[in-house]
Structure 1
Amino acid sequence: MEDLIVAYFRALSAFFRYMFQSLVIEFIGYGSGWIVCKVFTLGRFPSFTPTEKERTRISYIGAISIALFLLAIGVFNSF
């Protein structure tokens, strides 16, 4: 019985972790990725109505740019 309860809570925590990660990447990553793409492509990409594939790319670009920005802060603060 105890194993069943532990398995249930593991599945529930995995679900909430997945939802949190997807929300962070989708909302925060998309906003910052949209700005990064507009700046580096001089306003040509992304289009005003992006497809689902483009939204995913933009979200990952934003998440990577945030990670690189935080890494740069850490490197420059170590001097």
Structure 2
Amino acid sequence: MVPLRRADAILCVDRFSDSRPLAETSLRNALLSSGGDASILVASPITWVLYGLMAAVLIFTAWRRLRQRKSVDV
């Protein structure tokens, strides 16, 4: 077994103790790989589809909750 250098050990500990949320880490990686260009988040057609689906789910959920609230108030 090859002994770890100090830098390797720190890298391993940092990698396994990362407590940041996955979305935040993925966003950071995407921005780093694109050189800080935020247009990478909307450049692909699949991103537009996913953003549209998220918007539809949010709108449907809000509409359903408002409808429930109105039926309780009546």
The TM-score range, normalised by the shorter chain, is 0.3 to 0.5
State the structure with more CA Rg. 2
Normalized against structure 2, the TM-score is what? 0.39
Normalized against structure 1, the TM-score is what? 0.36
Higher relative contact order (CA 8 A, sep 6+): 1
